[in-house]
Structure 1
Amino acid sequence: MGHFQTTKSIASHRLTPLFREGPMTRRHRPPSIRSLSAAMSLVWLLGGCAVQVESASPYAPPDTGEAVSAYTDLGLAYLRRDNLSRARRALEHALELGPQDPQALEGMALLHQRQKEPALAEEFFERALEADTDYTRARNNYAALLYDEGKLDAACRQLRIAAQDMTYDNRAQLLANLGRCRFEQGDLEAARRPLEQALAYDSRDTQSLLLLARLDHTQGHDERAWERLQRFFTLADATPDSLELASEIARARGDQEAAAFYHRQLDGS
């Protein structure tokens, strides 16, 4: 297998949970003005008070779906701020109103993951995907949890299903995650295609560039590996992994001076 290192720690190469990529996008229920208004009213949670969602008519019952969405959004906002107790309260309210709501279930999974409770996190991810089998973001985040736990086969299986969603907004990151997962499994040919697809979606995807450089070097394509790695260095700061790989590729190309240079950089990093 050449220079491929199957002993690299999984924890040092984490998949990217899509929950952490800036503003969250929902596959379902785009927020309306009413739901945003309901979310604003949830500040009453700070005082432990109940929330009453506005209705378009004084005689109509509250819109439960919008209340669930508003509580879920609030819970995830608290989760981003590491306010776990308030996140739990908001998400529990959401699930009281909508026990099968996939976004609320995913939110609870992320909360348990943050609290280092992987078994409960897995349970809630499974429930979210049972409620909506097409919920791609939750499937990617579930795969990230499985990957961090060392369950590579299960993680790759979830990512393979998620990658079938051709309309997903974060498809480049999802494909990069699938490529990394297959790379860590040691299935280099299966890793190549999603990594190259990720680069086709986003030519500045440094994760895929570095992995493809490693893959090319492993398979003896050192000139192509070198080109990819130099592209990586123009887009991102050097990392220990990239410096180690640069030294290896330079040595394989017979450039001992460059190999020594990158090795010195690695020693000083």
Structure 2
Amino acid sequence: MKGYLVLLISLLLAGCAGQAVSPSDKSSDDAANAYTQLGMQYLRGGDSANAKSAFLRATEIDDDAVQAYSGLAMVFQLEQESELAENYFRQAISIAPDSAMLHNNFGAFLFSLERYAEACKELARATEDPFYNRRAQAFENLGRCYQLIERSDAAEHAFKRSLKLSPMRAVAIIELSTLSLDKGDDEQAATYFEQFSQMIDAKQTQHNAKSLWLGVRIARLQNNAIDASTYGLILKNLYPDSSEYRQYKESTR
């Protein structure tokens, strides 16, 4: 299939040279789509220069080639050209304003720039589409975003929506356990943590620094010194430079 696509592009290059093609023609749609797919192949292969050329050619053929604009945004994001990436994200969204995928990707991009309030708005838009196949992930991302702008209630709601859609989302479970503990609902925090522990036992997820520190805190509340020490030892061995381990050390003084 890859060889066929490359051949198709070479034929298009020969056939379109010196011609103006109307974007409304089906042949132009096919050409734009072919260039876009070629750009995606280059992007997956780490060849950003050829990816940009292919995506740009797609936009020249069809100025509504939304996936090509999205592709350019991703390339420039990888190249840390943030201003260019943002411009292409916005251009793609202007063409397809209801695309949950675009809002989710743009939200993740803004999140990476620590523009959390703007990121939350984009991620919230992504969750509005009931047919979006990554909606559970979008709710989880939205919850994390709300936490960073200190909207704990909204974060809790987003994490719960994520679990409704996909009950095995480890990040949402740990965050809900942490939120419950922070507001004094120790029983609910322990329930969520037990759910996470069952996923650990089934090898469906792995501990991280946050989950281990949470395990320490919950074990202490349950007067389970053995589990608290075990989680603390794992935290020390696996994440000695983490903020969670620093909190653990301070708590033992």
TM range (shorter): 0.7 to 0.9
Deviation at 1:83, TM superposition (A): 1.4
Deviation string 1:4-60 (CA, Å, 9 cap, x unpaired) is xxxxxxxxxxxxxxxxxxxxxxxxxxxxxxxx89x9333466x8982659xxxxxxx
Q: Does structure 1 conserve the Cα–Cα contact (< 8 Å) formed by 2:178 and 2:214?
A: yes
Note the 1:40-119 alignment, pairs <5 A: 40-43=4-7, 50=13, 52=15, 63-119=27-83
Is 2:243 the counterpart of 1:243?
Answer: no
User: CA–CA distance in 1 between the matches of 2:172 and 2:44?
Assistant: 26
- For structure 2, the 5+ residue unaligned runs are 17-24, 239-253
User: CA–CA distance in 2 between the matches of 1:62 and 1:164?
Assistant: 32
* Moved beyond 3 Å, runs of 4+: none
- Counting matched residue pairs gives 225
2:135 alignment counterpart: 171
Q: Does structure 2 conserve the Cα–Cα contact (< 8 Å) formed by 1:42 and 1:71?
A: no
2:90 alignment counterpart: 126
- Larger relative contact order (Cα-Cα within 8 Å, sequence gap ≥ 6): 1
Deviation string 1:179-207 (CA, Å, 9 cap, x unpaired) is 11112222111011121111111111112
Across the aligned residues of Structure 1 and Structure 2, the Cα RMSD in angstroms comes to 2.3
2:247 alignment counterpart: none
2:164 to 200, 209, 234: 200
Which stretch shows the higher mean deviation, 230-239 or 84-93?
A: 230-239
User: CA–CA distance in 1 between the matches of 2:82 and 2:209?
Assistant: 29
- Paired AA for residue 155 in structure 1: A
User: CA–CA distance in 1 between the matches of 2:4 and 2:103?
Assistant: 29
Higher-helix-fraction structure: 2
Q: Give the % identical residues.
A: 28
Q: Does structure 2 conserve the Cα–Cα contact (< 8 Å) formed by 1:44 and 1:51?
A: no
**Counterpart secondary structure, 1:99:** coil
Cα separation, partners in 2 of 1:90 and 1:260, compared to 1, 3 Å: same
Note the 1:245-264 alignment, pairs <5 A: 245-264=214-233
**Counterpart secondary structure, 1:63:** helix
User: CA–CA distance in 2 between the matches of 1:188 and 1:166?
Assistant: 24
Q: Does structure 1 conserve the Cα–Cα contact (< 8 Å) formed by 2:104 and 2:122?
A: yes
- Paired AA for residue 79 in structure 2: Q
Cα separation, partners in 2 of 1:62 and 1:161, compared to 1, 3 Å: closer
- Paired AA for residue 250 in structure 1: A
1:267 alignment counterpart: 236
Cα separation, partners in 2 of 1:43 and 1:204, compared to 1, 3 Å: farther
Note the 1:180-219 alignment, pairs <5 A: 180-219=144-183
User: CA–CA distance in 2 between the matches of 1:85 and 1:48?
Assistant: 21
1:227 alignment counterpart: 191
TM-score, normalisation: structure 1 = 0.77
User: CA–CA distance in 2 between the matches of 1:43 and 1:219?
Assistant: 61
User: CA–CA distance in 1 between the matches of 2:192 and 2:26?
Assistant: 56
1:147 to 98, 111, 117: 111
- Paired AA for residue 268 in structure 1: N
Deviation string 1:239-264 (CA, Å, 9 cap, x unpaired) is 11211111122223333332111101
- For structure 1, the 5+ residue unaligned runs are 1-35, 54-60
Which stretch shows the higher mean deviation, 252-261 or 68-77?
A: 252-261
Q: Whose Rg is larger?
A: 2
Deviation at 1:62, TM superposition (A): 5.8
